[in-house]
């Protein structure tokens, strides 16, 4: 890595941002995290720098974009953080659209542009796909519903950066599996008690990716300048929710046979229950065709690495 390589990350205190920061710094790079608050001491490596921003206005932080190796926009509130009330939906939109537009505006003011703009998105772009259908790749059209509409707007909010001559990559990320956060730590307590099981029919797809592969893929996309546009960040072998629960049960040496009825999830979570009850099999075609090698392409070895050693 070049000594002058500077990575600027918006939303860098989240799960992916923290792991990417640690990886980049470990290889001698420089990282500046744009943050709306002062990060806690254990959130970022001591070598990382934090720059305050409000995600809506250009400030002193914008100087960090000058000549940056990459600008990574991961800003956006968790869609699973609460019921999708009208107010919550507005917050989910604004937490994605405002930072994206602000970063494009700040990029336009630089004399030496960042070499690449990596824009976060999600496989929610594709909507739901019935069980048994062939996996979707990056050429698939968006689905219908709140998540596809939100993803389309999120991606479109940074599209103007390409008119500035900046390469833009859209990271359509699946469910990230990690010890440090995300979906897996939320699921484990129930399964450790032996009362886990499939959600709804269990036939809905679960397109996942190990955190290590997320970081490796982002770094791959930074370095491979021939790649632009949407890229699916998912493991090559998606599974159904039923297959996921069985794999979790085996990894934990617990039964995983108690289903959770879809009607109960809808009563508990409202419209947000569709995140749990619907999904799509997503293929990382562009990564594979470009020569990226997944460390964890199958679910069971990934779970064994994440939780098996401690059980």
For the stretch 39-56, pLDDT in tens is: 777 788 889 999 999 999
When pLDDT is averaged across residues 127-138 and rounded to a whole number, the result is: 87
When pLDDT is averaged across residues 155-159 and rounded to a whole number, the result is: 98
Q: How far is CA 284 from CA 95, 212, 229, 277, in A?
A: 26, 15, 13, 22
The residue with greater pLDDT, 258 or 169, is 169
Pick the range with the lowest mean pLDDT from 92-101, 215-224, 267-276.
Answer: 267-276
Q: Give the relative orientation of helices 211-223 and 15-26 as an angle to the nearest 10 degrees.
A: 60
Round to whole Å and give the CA distance between 42 and 108. 33
pLDDT of residue 311: 53
pLDDT of residue 309: 52
What CATH number matches the domain at 6-174+209-234+281-294, 3.40.30.10, 3.50.50.60, 3.40.50.720, 3.40.50.300?
A: 3.40.50.720
pLDDT of residue 224: 97
Tell me the per-residue pLDDT of 232-243, one tens digit each, with 9 for 90 and over: 999 999 999 999
Tell me the per-residue pLDDT of 63-118, one tens digit each, with 9 for 90 and over: 999 999 999 999 999 998 888 999 999 999 999 999 999 999 999 999 999 999 99
What HEC string does the chain produce?
Answer: CCCCCEEEEECCCCHHHHHHHHHHHHCCCEEEEEECCCCCCCCCCCCCEEEECCCCCCCHHHHHHCCCCEEEECCCCCCCCCCCCHHHHHHHHHHHHHHHHHHHHHHHCCCCCCCEEEEEEEHHHHCCCCCCCCCECCCCCCCCCHHHHHHHHHHHCCHHHHHHCCEEEEEEECEEECCCCCHHHHHHHHHHCCCCCCECCCCCEECEEEHHHHHHHHHHHHHCCCCCEEEEECCCCCEEHHHHHHHHHHHHCCCCCCCECHHHHHHHHHHHHHHHHCCCCECCHHHHHCCCCCCCCCHHHHHHHHHHHHC
Quote the percentage of the chain above a pLDDT of 90. 79
**Mean pLDDT over all residues of the chain?**
93
Indicate if the pLDDT at residue 175 is higher than 90. yes
The residue with greater pLDDT, 101 or 267, is 101
Indicate if the pLDDT at residue 1 is higher than 80. no
For residue 51, give both structure tokens.
């720059």
pLDDT of residue 266: 85
pLDDT of residue 248: 93
Half-sphere exposure (CA, 13 Å, Cβ side) for 32? Answer: 20
Pick the range with the lowest mean pLDDT from 44-48, 114-118, 216-220, 227-231.
Answer: 44-48
Indicate if the pLDDT at residue 5 is higher than 80. yes
Quote the percentage of the chain above a pLDDT of 70. 98
The residue with greater pLDDT, 205 or 2, is 205
Neighbour count for residue 179 (Cβ, 10 Å): 13
If pLDDT is split at 50, 70 and 90, which confidence band does 268 have?
A: confident
Round to whole Å and give the CA distance between 65 and 6. 9
pLDDT of residue 4: 55
pLDDT of residue 259: 87
pLDDT of residue 3: 43
Indicate if the pLDDT at residue 28 is higher than 80. yes
When pLDDT is averaged across residues 227-253 and rounded to a whole number, the result is: 95
């Amino acid at each position: 890595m070049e000594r002058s390589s500077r990575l600027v990350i918006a939303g860098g205190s989240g799960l992916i941002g923290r792991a990417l920061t640690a990886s980049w710094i470990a290889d001698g790079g420089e990282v500046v995290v744009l943050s709306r608050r002062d990060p806690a001491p254990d959130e970022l490596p001591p070598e990382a720098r934090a720059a305050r921003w409000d995600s809506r206005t250009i400030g002193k932080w914008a100087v960090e974009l000058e000549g940056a190796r990459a600008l990574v926009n991961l800003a956006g509130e968790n869609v699973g953080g609460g019921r999708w009330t009208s107010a919550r939906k507005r917050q989910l939109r604004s937490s994605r659209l405002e930072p994206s537009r602000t970063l494009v505006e700040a990029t336009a003011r630089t004399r030496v542009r960042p070499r690449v703009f990596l824009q976060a998105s999600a496989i929610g772009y594709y909507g739901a796909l019935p069980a048994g259908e062939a996996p979707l790749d990056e050429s698939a059209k968006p689905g219908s519903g709140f998540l596809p509409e939100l993803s389309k707007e999120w991606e479109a909010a940074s599209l103007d950066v390409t008119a500035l001559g900046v390469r833009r990559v859209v990271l359509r990320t699946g469910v990230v599996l990690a010890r440090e956060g995300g979906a897996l730590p939320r699921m484990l307590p129930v399964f450790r008690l032996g009362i886990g099981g499939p959600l709804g029919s269990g036939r809905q797809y679960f397109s996942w990716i190990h955190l290590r592969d997320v970081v490796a893929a982002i770094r791959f996309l930074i370095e491979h300048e021939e790649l632009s546009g949407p890229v699916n960040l998912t493991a090559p072998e998606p599974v159904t929710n039923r297959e996921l629960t069985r794999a979790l049960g085996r990894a934990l040496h617990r039964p995983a046979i108690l289903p959770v009825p879809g009607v109960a999830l809808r009563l508990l979570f409202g419209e947000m229950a569709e995140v749990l009850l619907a999904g799509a099999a997503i293929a990382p075609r562009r990564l594979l065709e470009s020569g990226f090698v997944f460390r964890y392409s199958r679910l069971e070895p990934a779970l064994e690495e994440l939780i098996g050693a401690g059980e």
